[in-house]
Structure 1
Amino acid sequence: MSSYYGDKSRDIPSWDSFENADDDDIVDTSEYAYASRDHILFCIDASASMQTPFPDVETPEGIIRGKSALHQALEAVVKIQRSKVITGPADSVGVLLWNVDPSKTPSSSTGNYKPGTHVYQSLRTINAEEIKRIVKLMEVAKDQYDNQEPDEDVETTQPEVFGETFPSCSKKEELNIADVLVTCNFLFRDAGTKLAGNKRVFLVTDNDQPPGSSHNRAPARTVYGDLLTYGITINTYFIDRPDHRFDASLYWNDILDREADDNVSKEEKASEVDGLEELAEVMNDLVIRHAPKRVQFSIPLRFGGKDGDIEIGVSGYAMISAQGKGQPKLVRMRGQTVEEVQIKTEYTSAETGAVLKDTEIGQAYQFGNESTVKNVIEPNWWESTEHQAEQQMYADEIVRLDNERRQREEEGEDEEEEDVEMPQQSQVNGKGKGKGKEEPGEKPKVVARTRLQFNPDEVAQFKSMGLPPQIKILGFQGPNHLEVDENLKHSYFIYPNESEITGSTRTFAALLKSCLKLNKHPLALCRFRTNTAPEFGVLIPQEETFNKEGGQDHPPGFHIIILPFRDDIRRPPKNMTDNLLATEEQAKLMSNVVKRLRIKAGFYRSEAYPNPALAYHYAQLQALAFEEDFDPSSPEAQELDRTYPKHHGMHRAAGDFMREWNRAIEDDDRAEERLTGGKKRTARGGGGDDDPAGDLEEEDLRDVRGMWKMGTLEKLKVQELRDWARFHKISLTGKTKKADMIGVLSEYLEKEGDGAAKKTKKK
C-alpha cells in the first residue's frame, strides 16, 4: 500500500514515535505521504575503471565477452526509460556522467555545472525524442561490441562510441564527491518546482576512495544534507572490480550517514549482491506498471459520545483498481505541433437552439408506465374532465350490456347479437363541449404526473438522507459477528489526514492500538462522497509489519468492509452446494500437489503478471513512439503473456502427485455412481451428438413420437429433444434453437413412415 522508497527501517517513523511526551508539538507525516510520480537522476561514474570491460568468461557454448560497468549501467538506463514511456509518462529521468574529460565535454552539456560533469540528458518529463538519442547511442555501441570476434588471444575492448562521447579524465582530475552532489542538486533545481513525488539519485560507481576521502569529507556531508532537505534521496549501486571488492566503510558510509555493521564477517560481505545485479533487480521492479494510489475520499471520522464528540480527518485509498488502456486524447494537428482539444459541454434548447443555463436544467424520474411529461400550461384533452367522463360512460355501458346478457341466459332466451351504438363525444354529460375546451372558470383536473421533477439540491437530499460525508462509528463488536460471505465489495484503506484536522494522527493511532489490543472492530455508518448513499461498514484494524530488509511490508490502518443489506444476500446455486465432499485421503493427495506448486516468494504478486492484452497494447505503442517495427510473431512479442501456465515445470514438480490424485478419484465409488447411476442425469450430462447411445434407455425417454402426432412437441424441453435425438442417432449439430430441433425431428418422423400423422401444431 505504501509508496515509501526508503532502504532501512530507521527511516520509517513508527506509531510509537507519536506516543512520546516530548514530541507533543512535532507531527511527522512522512509515513502518510503517498507519491504518484517518480523522478530519477542517474549519476554514473565514467572513469577509466568504469569503462574497462570485465574479463571474458569461457563456457561450454563458447566465450562470452565481458562488458564494462558503464556499458551495463547505460543499458539499464535505456531499459527504464523505454518502459517509463508506458508505465510512467509523467515521470522524469535524467542522466549525468562525472569524471569526464572537461576539455572534451561539449559546452552545451556543462552550463553552470561543475567541470568534469557531462549532462547527457537533463532531468525532465519522459519524451520519445530524447530517448531515441540514447537508444541510438546504445545501438551503435552494440554493433561495435558484437563485431568483436570471440578469441582467447584477443581481449574484449570497450566500444569506441563510449570513449568518444564520454572520454574519461585522468586520475588527477577526478572530481570530489561534493562537486558531484552539487551538480545533482543543480539538476533538480533547474527541473523546476513542480517535481511532486519521489526524487531519487541512482549513484553508480566502483571507486570506494574518491578524491577527498582521506582529509576533507565535510563538504560532501553538507551537500548530502542539503539534498535530504529538498526531499532527494540517494540510492547507491557499488560495483566490484575484478581485482578489488568494494568497501563502503572506507568513505561512503560516513558521507551518507550510514552505520556499518561490524557483526558482518568478510565472507558475508563477499557474498553481498554486486551493484550491477542490484541495479538490474531494481530495473525489473520499476518496469512493472504501478497504478497510482490516488485518494478516493477525505472525510471526517467521528466516534465517542452520542453524536461523535471526537472528530479526526482520514483519507481513503482503493486497494484494488482495474487497469485499462486509458482514454485516448483528442488532438488537433496544426503544422508540426499537436494541440490537445479542450472539451466543453453545453446543453441547448431543442426549440430555439439557445444555450441553457444550469438553473434551467433539472432532473426528472419516471413514475408509472407513461413516458410523457404532463403539460400543465396547455392541458391535454386525454387528461381533461371530458375524457374522464367519456371513459366512465363507456364502462357503465359495458356493465349494463353484460347484465342483460346474463339475465337472458338465466331466462333461457336465445342470444342475439345487438349493435351497440356508443355515444358521441358531443353527448357526454349532455353538453356540447368541443375537444380540448373547458367550462369557463373551471380549473383543469391535474392527474398524477408520469415524471417527477426535482432540483439538484432535492436529489442530493434523497441520496444522502440528510447525512454529510463522514464515517461515524456506532459501536464495537468482536470478530465472531462477521461472516465471509458478507464481503461483497472492494474494501477501502483509511489513513489519518493531518492536513484536515491537526491531531488526527495521534488519535487515529490510539484508536488502532486499542482495537488491536482488545480484538474489536468498529461498526460505522459511512458516506464517502457527496454523490453516494450512506452504507454500513466495519473497520478491520491492520497492524504495521516489516519485511526482512527492514522496509515496511504492511502499513497501519483500517480496512473498511462495506456490509450488505438484506436484499443483497442471495442463496448460492444448488450446483455449487450439492457437491461431493472429498475424503481425507483425497484432500491429502491434493495438498501434496498444492505444496509442490506454490510460489517461491510465498505470496502472489499480481503486478508481476500484467494483463496480456494490455502488455500487447503497450508494446505496440512503444514501437510506434520509437518508430520501430513490431512483429507479433517475434519471441519478444510471445513473451508478453506471462500468465501462460508453465505446464512442463508443473508436471515435473508435481506430476506424480497429480497421477495419484486422479487414481484416487477414479477409484471413488461415489463419483462412478454420480456419473452412471442416474440415467437421466447421464443422458443430460453425456457426450455430444457423436455419442449417440451412452447409457440411455428408451423407457427413460419421453414419448416424442406420440407428442409429434398430437402436435405438442413444443411442450418438450430442449434437453429432452436432444436425448431422444441422441438415442435414435439423429444429428442436431448446429441446431441451437428449439424450433430448429423440432423441425429436424419432424422430418425424421415423416420419412420414417408417419407422413399421414398430424403435423406439429404451430403457435
Structure 2
Amino acid sequence: MDMLNFENLGAVLDEDEEVETKFEKFGAFHKTNIVFLLDLTHDMLLPSSMKSKESGNAVSLAYACLIAIRQSVLDMIKHSSLGGGSRDRVAILGLMHNKTVVLLGMQLPSAETIKIIDELSEYVGDAPAKQGSAINLAKAFDMAFTLLKDFQGDAQIFICTANDDPCDRIMRKGFSERLVVCSKATDLTQNHMMSIKLLAVPPRDRLKPFDVSLFWQNVASNQGSDDRTVIESLHDLIQHVRSLTRPTAITVPSGSNIKLRVRDPKRCGSYCMQLHVNLYALSRSRDLNPGKSFRIDVDDGSFLAEVRVRDGKIVKQDSNIYAATHEGEGNSRNDDTLTKTSTVDASPQPPQVLFQRKKVLKFRERDIKVWDADELTRITKHGNPRCIDIVGFIQNDRINREFRGQSPQYLTLVKNSEEEEANYWCALWHACRRLNATCIAALYLRESNAPKQILLTPHSEVRDPQGYMRLPNGFYVHHLPYKDRLYVNVRPKQATRRLRTDQHIMDSLHRILQGISKSYFYPLNDRNSDKQWRVLEALALDQAPPKFDPAAIEYPQEITTDLGNLRAICYKHKKSKSLAELSKSKRSRKH
C-alpha cells in the first residue's frame, strides 16, 4: 500500500505508530537539510477532495501537505540512525495570508519535530480560509538561506502551494516583487548550490490546472529551470525525500577499507565472496573524494586490489568479475575501472580471478538477524567471557578532537604497554544521532589471539552457519568469523543492575583519559550517564531512542520559532465556532 492514499488520508496516521520505532540498520547516508515553505493562504486552507479516515471530513490542502511532510520527516528519522552526531536538519516556514512568514522549527528530525507538526496540523485543520493568495517568497528565501547556509550537505527548499502566481505585482521602489524573488532564487541555486523544488497541489473545483511554467517564470525565471525537480503529488514528495536519505549504493570515501573473504573453490566447490564493509564509518565520512582510489584487503591479508570510485559509487569494469593479485603486485591506475594490477616490476604471475558473482554489493535477507527482548533477557544470564560491560561515556567533541585520525570503529588507547604486557585496553566507541556522548567500553583482552574486530551487540550466542548477525540500531555492520568476535554486552534495563566495576580497570582508564580530562568521562554508575545509557539500551533493543535535546541554534532576531500567530487565528476561529454552536443548541432547546 502506498504511503499516502489520496482517497483515504487517515490510513497514513494508522500506520505511523507501527513504523516509527523501526530503523534502518546499515547504509551510507548524505547529510540533507530541508526547509519546507508551506503556503497557508486562502486556497490551501479550503477543503479538498481528500478525506480523513477517522472523521470522514474533507481536509485542507495545507493539512494534507503537513501529513506528507510528517511522513517525510519520519523517513528522515528512520534512515539517519547511523549518523553519528549532528546530521539532517528540517524546518517548516509557514507563509501566512498577511504575507508574514513564521518559522515552525529548524532542528534534527526527531520526536519533537513530529510533535510540532502534529500540533500545527491540529491548528491548520481549524484555521479559517481568509481572502488573499499572495505570499512573501522573498522573505521566505532569505530565511531559508539563513537557516541552511551554515550546515554541511545538500540544501533543499520545497515550496508547497496551490498558487501558480504567488508574487504581488505592485511595484515597490521601482522593483516588482517577481524580480526580487527571481533574483533571490537564482542566487540560492547558482551561487549557494541550493535546490528549489515545487509541490504543486491544485485545489478542488479549480477551473484551470496548476500552471507549472507560470510558477517557475514568476519564482525563478527561466534560467536554470530545466534542472529543477517538479513534484506533482504528496506521494512524490515522500519518495523524493526518501531518495535523499536512503542509501542507493555503498559510498566509499578515500582511505576506507572493504574486506573480502574468499573461499577456496577446491574446498567449497564454487567461488564465493562476502563484503566486510564498515558502513558505520562510511556514513560518518565528511571528505569523500571520488577521484581517488582505495585499497581492498582480502581477509587473510595475502591479496590486494585497487578500486576507483566515482560520485561516491564503486566503478567496476564488469558486473560479474572482480580481479585481484598477490600482495606486492598491486599498482593503481588512473582509469575508471577496477584495476587489473600491473606485473611490470613484480612477479610475472598473472592476476587471479578470486570470484565470479553477480550483484555482489547487494545485501541478502539472510544476513539479517532480528533481536527481541526475550533473547536479550536470556543472554544476560549467560556468563560468556566474551561479553564485556560498558563502563562509561565520554563527550563526542573530546573524542573527535583528541583521537582524530584513528579508526572510527574502535580506539586503541593502550596496546602492549609495559604495565599491561600482553594484555591491552581498547575503548570501543559509538556515536549516533541521538547520543551526544560516546559510550566507552574498557575491553580487557586476556587472550593472546585477540580478535581482529570488536562488535557492539546485545547478543553473544545466536549465529548461523555463515556467521552473519544483525546488530542493533545505529551500530556499524562488520561480518567476522564467530571465533574472532568479541562482544560488548548491552543489557535491557529490567535486567540491569549497578555494576561493581574492577577498580583496576577504572584507574587504568582514567590514566588513559588523563590528557582529555576526567570531567568529560562519566562512569556508568554516575548520574550524568543515565541519559546516555537509556539511549544505548533503546538502540540495542531495536526501539526508538528517547528524546535527546540537540544543541540550541542561534537564529537572527527576525527568525523565531513562533506558533503564537497561527494559534491566535485558530483559537479565535475555534472560540467563535464553539459560541455559535452553543447558541444554536440553546435555541433548539427552547423550541
- TM (normalized to structure 2)? 0.39
Write 1 or 2 for the structure with the bigger share of helix.
1
